Amino acid sequence: MFADLHLHSYFSDGTFPPEEVVARGVQAGLGTLALTDHDTMEGCPRMAAACAAAQIEFITGAELTAEHDDLELHILGYFIDPENQKLLRELARFQIVRQNRIREMVARLNEVNVPLHADAVFALANCRSPGRPHVARALVQAGHCATHDQAFERFLKKDRPAWVPKAKMSALEAIELIHQAGGLAVMAHPALNRADHLISALRSAGLDGLECFHTKHSNSATRRYLEFAERFHLLVTGGSDCHGKSKGRPLIGTVKLAYEHVEKLKQKVAERKLATINGHK
């Protein structure tokens, strides 16, 4: 039994509908899938239904854009209640920030004589949580760039003409928000954020796990984070971070997390639920 706990759909910057994510997961032989779209749970009900129909396990998730000490961090939330009002309110707030950022990026493109309309980006994104990949696709579609990568290189990367910094929640806020929604908070792809020195502090703030297995982690990075997880008593997660076809070939199935790690996640959620019930007695 294997799991992929890091997947994106077209409800953020992936290209597949949730049903296709599930179909490809089944094809890859996975028995458990988590949907972790950026700053949204919009795709979770459809993903849950598709997993139920395919008789595989689904874990509700989201990937929250956060920061700590001026460093961007992605905090994965697992087993979060999709109807938790506080979490939904906060996500809605950050979705509006993302939408305004698209307008700002388009305005900056217009300033350097690239004619693009924000509505073209919104129509293409067709979700509440748009990001730079959607602007990149719109630039390619309008013929201003040959490829998605070229759009990032010329316009969207940090310090390029259309780069706009993104307001983020603090990592501590993200952890608290996930916990109050009944979920577990996990640091995504630590090797990509150079955040090793923050792991201990975030653990003290309630971080539950580390994404040790990730497409962009080398074998030595994976070993390093498995050691961190053991040292700091953090749970171990992993996933492909598949974005569909937006970054070349679909990655689903390339990272397979052993089911024993999923068991440990479920155990911790159950223990925390019990502690909450007892605490309220």
Residues that bind Fe ion (CB under 5 A): 13, 74, 188
Residue at 21: amino acid letter: V
What, of ligand AMP, Fe ion, Zn ion, none, does residue 132 touch, CB below 5 to 8 Å by kind?
Answer: ligand AMP
Work out whether 132 is an interface residue with ligand AMP (CB under 6 A). Answer: yes
DSSP secondary structure string for all residues of 50-118: HHHHTT-EEE-EEEEEEEETTEEEEEEEES--TT-HHHHHHHHHHHHHHHHHHHHHHHHHHHTT----H
Least separation in angstroms between residue 273's CB and ligand AMP is: 32
CA distance 81 to 108: 38
Least separation in angstroms between residue 50's CB and ligand AMP is: 22
Work out whether 133 is an interface residue with ligand AMP (CB under 6 A). Answer: yes
Using CB atoms within 10 Å of the CB of residue 157, give its burial: 0 to 12 exposed, 13 to 18 middle, 19+ buried. middle
Work out whether 131 is an interface residue with ligand AMP (CB under 6 A). Answer: yes
Work out whether 211 is an interface residue with Zn ion (CB under 5 A). Answer: no
Q: Which stretch binds Zn ion (CB under 5 A): 57-65, 112-120, 178-186, 191-199?
A: 57-65
Q: Please enumerate in sequence order all residues whose Cβ is within 8 A of that of 183, keeping only pairs 6 or more positions apart, or say none.
A: 60, 77, 78, 79, 80, 81, 269
Closest CA to 35 of 70, 88, 82, 68: 82
Positions in 28-87 near ligand AMP (CB under 6 A)? 38
Q: Which residue in 152, 155, 213, 228 binds ligand AMP (CB under 6 A)?
A: 152
Q: How far from 252 is each of 24, 91, 180, 238, 274, CA to CA, in Å? A: 7, 25, 30, 12, 34
Q: Which residue in 241, 242, 244, 252 binds Zn ion (CB under 5 A)?
A: 241
Q: Which stretch binds ligand AMP (CB under 6 A): 51-59, 129-137, 139-147, 257-265?
A: 129-137
Work out whether 104 is an interface residue with ligand AMP (CB under 6 A). Answer: no
- 118 token code pair: 């924000």
Residue nearest to ligand AMP (CB): 131
For 259, half-sphere exposure in the C-beta direction (CA atoms, 13 angstrom radius) is 9
Q: Which stretch binds Zn ion (CB under 5 A): 48-56, 209-217, 220-228, 235-243?
A: 235-243
Positions in 78-97 near Zn ion (CB under 5 A)? none
Q: Please enumerate in sequence order all residues whose Cβ is within 8 A of that of 215, keeping only pairs 6 or more positions apart, or say none.
A: 240, 241, 251, 254, 255
Work out whether 155 is an interface residue with ligand AMP (CB under 6 A). Answer: no
Q: Which stretch binds ligand AMP (CB under 6 A): 125-133, 178-186, 200-208, 228-236?
A: 125-133
Give the binding site for ligand AMP (CB under 6 A): 13, 38, 131-133, 149, 152, 157, 166
